[in-house]
């Protein structure tokens, strides 16, 4: 009986240790939430809020709308004008690359 409890305890401990540093369970939606800036620029941030809204403020213009992940694509809707992006995260989810679907136009952002 003591051996079984010891073995079960060791297995539970190993599972807990194995999963404690696991950030891969974080959804793509959660990875987007936060403030992002164009890489290597002093641009104003683009902010993805957890409620699905999007804010981009600049000196000349201010944009807001909604965002969502649909079929593994980022969909930004500003004034009922939707733009779809392929996306990839790198650098421990601190770098985001967006490519407009159907083009080769890409943007690189870093999380603030």
> Beta strands 81-90 and 46-48: pairing type?
unpaired
Enclosing domain of residue 61: 27-111
pTM of the model as a whole: 0.72
Instruction: Confirm whether 79 is domain-assigned.
Output: yes
The beta-strand segments (E) located in the chain are: 34-38, 46-48, 53-57, 62-70, 73-78, 81-90, 95-100, 106-111
Q: Could you report the per-residue pLDDT of 72-111, keeping only the tens digit for each?
A: 999 999 889 999 999 999 999 999 999 999 999 999 999 9
Q: Does residue 87 belong to any structural domain of this protein?
A: yes
- What is the 3-class SS of 30-58, one letter each residue? HHHCEEEEECCCCCCCEEECCCCEEEEEC
Q: The tokens of 6 are what?
A: 């010891």
pLDDT, greater one: 4 or 18: 4
Q: Do the domain assignments include residue 7?
A: no
Residue 11 counted as domain residue: no
Which domain CATH number covers 44? 2.40.128.270
Whether the predicted pLDDT of 59 surpasses 90: no
Q: What is the pLDDT at residue 23?
A: 46
Q: 35-53 pLDDT, tens per residue? A: 999 887 777 889 999 999 9
Domain total of the chain: 1
């Amino acid at each position: 009986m003591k051996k079984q409890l010891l073995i079960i305890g060791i297995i539970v401990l190993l599972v807990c240790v194995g999963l404690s540093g696991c950030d891969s369970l974080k959804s793509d939606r959660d990875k987007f939430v936060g403030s992002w800036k164009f890489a290597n620029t002093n641009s104003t941030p683009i902010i993805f809020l957890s409620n699905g809204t999007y804010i981009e403020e600049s000196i000349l213009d201010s944009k807001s709308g909604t965002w969502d992940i649909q079929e593994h694509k980022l969909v930004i809707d500003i004034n009922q004008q939707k733009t779809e992006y392929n996306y990839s995260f790198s650098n421990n989810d601190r770098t985001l690359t967006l490519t407009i679907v159907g083009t080769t136009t890409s943007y690189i952002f870093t999380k603030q």
